Amino acid sequence: MSMLLAICNLGRILTREGREMAEIKLRGLRKSYGGHEVIRGVDIDIADGEFCVFVGPSGCGKSTLLRMVAGLEDITDGTLEIGGQRVNEAQPRDRGVAMVFQNYAIFPHMSVRENMAFGLTIAHASKAEKAAKVQRAAEILQMEHLLDRRPSQLSGGQRQRVAIGRAITRNPGVFLFDEPLSNLDAALRMDMRMEIGKLHKQLGTTMIYVTHDQVEAMTLADKIIVLRDGQVMQAGAPMELYQNPVNRFVAGFLGAPSMNFLDVEIVAADNETAKVARPSMDPIVVPTRGRRFVPGARAVLGLRPQHISACAPDQGVLHGQVTLTERLGSETVVDLVMQDGKNVIAAFGEDKEFERGQRVDLIFAPEQAHLFEEES
Amino acid sequence: MRSSLTSANREGWAFALPGIVLIFAFIITPFILAFGFSLTNQRLISPNPTRYVGLENYQQMLGLAFVTLDAKQDPNGKVATDPSGHPEFPPLRTITRNADTPQYRGMQEWFRWETGTQAHLVIARDVVFWKALVNTCLFVLIVAPVQAGLALGLALLINQKLRGITLFRTIYFMPVVVSIVVVSLLWRFIYDGHDGLLNNMLAGLSFGHFHPVDWLGNPHTALGSIMVMSIWQAVGFHMVIWLSGLQTISPTLYEAAAIEGSSSWQTFRYVTWPGLRHTAVLVLIVITMQSFALFSQIDVMTKGGPLDSTQTLVFQAVQRGYGLQDIAGGSTISVILFVIVLSISLLQRWLTRER
């Protein structure tokens, strides 16, 4: 019986080419420098094979959190588990992780081949094993023709590919990406983003990816963790966060252009809806999504630019004058100023022409609006 | 045709002028003069006119010969021995003052070794020069690697992020800012044979079992003592050069190595050392040149003695040129030193070239 259990366990552990299962648990993780706390109690669960993106503005602690998982930063308090083992004090090499850095961190004096085989060289692997693993990684990344070059002969995108290749050859349980695309130009960034997405599908390994770019987060992630000031604001699937942000910060961070926020007054409220108004907007009934509001209180109405549309003159609920138009071909982004001086951005899903100063009347579907408590 | 270097850059040349004048006055002109003097019999002050002598100075300086002496035999053909049973050899002057061997005239013994009833002698026209040359090379061969290695070790130590690390940096660098003359004077007290700090310390550490050594007065320890002091004095300077090299290595390379599972030694071998390549070339060339120029320590501490055990090329050049008023001899040594240092620098550059 125990034999059977052991075999089952072995089968579970040795899935996918002998790689260890690597679900990751962060429990009450804290980090402080001197007296200054930069990670303030973070709880995250990442399932084996999941692509998890830490996203947030600069200084929110996302890179620090990743480096704590990697073992490059000490953990002040809390527990970090990888594959069911507590690894708080484990050396980076004992955590079964591979990391890709923003500035590539490839060794300038080694050829691409030597760079990719570095982890194996360190572990005194045989020549044949090195050659086979480097070959496989190069095939995955379609860079067999670059293997004998020096890093100085490579473009930025190719260098990042080498760094990813070095991670692949180690066959780690977890891939860690620290803003890997930030040093690349816009076109290359999109290509590499898709490649990383494909890589995850192909390898099926747990990946943690840090970025400040919400587009990367939305497109790549199985799960997004939005961080702010060292705390998790919200964790969940990209669309869940997009459609049901728990607070104004998450709502404003995800989606481009970002959500409009209008200060409103609660005119009336019941369990599911609230009627809100502001001087430049006609009263309207919007869903409260479980939040409680009392009449007379102040609140913030969140409207995604994409959910606002133009309507016939003298109808609609918002009225503004055009100050700036950005025509993108498939989309037209208009910056409007309302009578009380508040700016609203609307994104129309078609190409439209507006004059500067033109009066535009806008409506939006109330069920797509978000109502947040006013922040203290 | 006027190139842009000469015509369009008047201000640049004006700024460079003071430097050019100084370099010409104190480096290029003296060098050309030294080369010229080395081909004459120029003296510092002399009533006789200077005469062109060709390569005579070089022949005099570099003249070496190898001779073998047979042990003395008594009339019966038996090898004569001294009271301790050691074979007796005829004096060298039987060769150097022999009319049959005029080529050895005036030469002196540099060193000898014996095999049975034969003594093999290396004789030189200028034994002091050869001793100086060997001492200088020995000094370079020992000081360059040891000083560079120690400096790298210190640089690695002080490159860590520790509380109060600047204090250590200051301490290690301090001997560099003190004049070598002052350092030499202080170390003369340390090395003193009667009541020196070193002897006292060693006696204390060995509970009185250590017999005091006159470090600078003993031909076996004098050069070694000067090496130790010289290494200590300039190690801080090279430490700073290494440190600047270390700090150009990106910290993320170390992080990448740590994640890949690299041990401290592997990190040094695969990340640190390759990143220090250019620094290493610089440090080695600078130390080599400085070591060949060994002078002040000798002048202050031993004046070349005891028994010429600390003679060096530069000390000899100065002593001959000004002490013995033999400008031609001093110049000849300078030119020989120049050729040696130039060859070594070119060799080092070739060995450490980009491949």
**Domains present along chain B, CATH in parentheses:** 4-37 (no CATH), 64-124 (no CATH), 128-351 (1.10.3720.10)
For chain A, helix, strand, coil in percent to 5 are 30, 35, 35
- Residues of A with Cβ-Cβ distance to B263 under 8 angstroms: 122
Query: What is the pLDDT, as a whole number, of residue B29?
Result: 94
Asked if the Cβ–Cβ distance from B261 to A71 is below 8 Å, we say no
**8 Å CB contact between A233 and A226:** yes
Asked if the Cβ–Cβ distance from B260 to A70 is below 8 Å, we say no
Using CB atoms and an 8 Å cut-off, which of residues 99-138 of chain A contact chain B?
99, 101, 103, 105-110, 118-119, 121-123
User: Structure tokens of A267?
Assistant: 């005119």
Query: What is the pLDDT, as a whole number, of residue B4?
Result: 59
- Residues of B with Cβ-Cβ distance to A92 under 8 angstroms: 258-259, 261
Query: What is the pLDDT, as a whole number, of residue B7?
Result: 63
Question: Which chain B residue lies closest to A168 (C-alpha atoms)?
Answer: B260
Distance CA B188, CA B216 (A): 8
Distances (CA, A) of B269 to B51, B97, B260, B274, B275: 59, 60, 14, 7, 10
Say which DSSP state B71 is in.
Answer: P
Query: What is the pLDDT, as a whole number, of residue A6?
Result: 47
Asked if the Cβ–Cβ distance from A119 to B253 is below 8 Å, we say no
ipTM over 0.90: no
- Residues of A with Cβ-Cβ distance to B248 under 8 angstroms: none
Asked if the Cβ–Cβ distance from B259 to A97 is below 8 Å, we say yes
Quote the Cα angle for A128-A133-A137, to 5°: 150
A145 touches chain B (CB under 8 A): no
Positions in chain A short of pLDDT 50: 1-16
Query: What is the pLDDT, as a whole number, of residue A5?
Result: 46
- Residues of B with Cβ-Cβ distance to A91 under 8 angstroms: 258
A166 touches chain B (CB under 8 A): yes
Q: Name which of B130, B174, B139 is nearest B295 in CA terms.
A: B139
pTM of full prediction above 0.95 = no
Q: Compute how many other C-beta atoms are within 10 angstroms of the C-beta atom of residue A263.
A: 13
- Residues of A with Cβ-Cβ distance to B259 under 8 angstroms: 70-72, 92-93, 97-99
Query: What is the pLDDT, as a whole number, of residue B63?
Result: 85
Distance CA A6, CA B337 (A): 77
End-to-end alpha carbon distance in chain A: 60
Question: Which chain A residue lies closest to B262 (C-alpha atoms)?
Answer: A122
Query: What is the pLDDT, as a whole number, of residue B73?
Result: 79
Of the partner residues B256, B266, B275, the one whose CB lies closest to the CB of residue A101: B256
- Residues of B with Cβ-Cβ distance to A166 under 8 angstroms: 256, 260
Query: What is the pLDDT, as a whole number, of residue A10?
Result: 42
User: Structure tokens of A138?
Assistant: 């190069």
Going from the N-terminus, what domains does chain A have, and what CATH number goes with each?
17-253 (3.40.50.300), 260-373 (2.40.50.140)
Shortest distance, CA A99 to any CA of chain B (angstroms): 7
Strand partners, B73: B79
Of the partner residues A92, A101, A109, the one whose CB lies closest to the CB of residue B274: A109
**8 Å CB contact between A255 and A304:** yes
Tens-digit pLDDT profile for chain B (355 aa)?
A: 555 556 667 888 899 999 999 999 999 999 899 899 888 888 888 788 888 888 888 888 888 888 888 887 777 777 777 788 788 888 888 888 877 877 888 888 888 888 878 888 888 888 889 999 999 999 999 999 999 999 999 999 988 888 888 888 888 888 888 888 998 999 988 988 888 888 888 888 888 777 888 888 888 889 999 999 999 988 999 999 999 999 999 999 999 999 988 888 999 999 999 999 889 988 988 998 889 988 988 998 888 878 888 899 999 999 988 888 888 889 999 999 999 989 988 888 888 776 6
Could you give the residue ranges of the DSSP H alpha helices within A155-293?
A: 156-169, 186-203, 214-220, 238-243, 248-253
Query: What is the pLDDT, as a whole number, of residue A9?
Result: 43
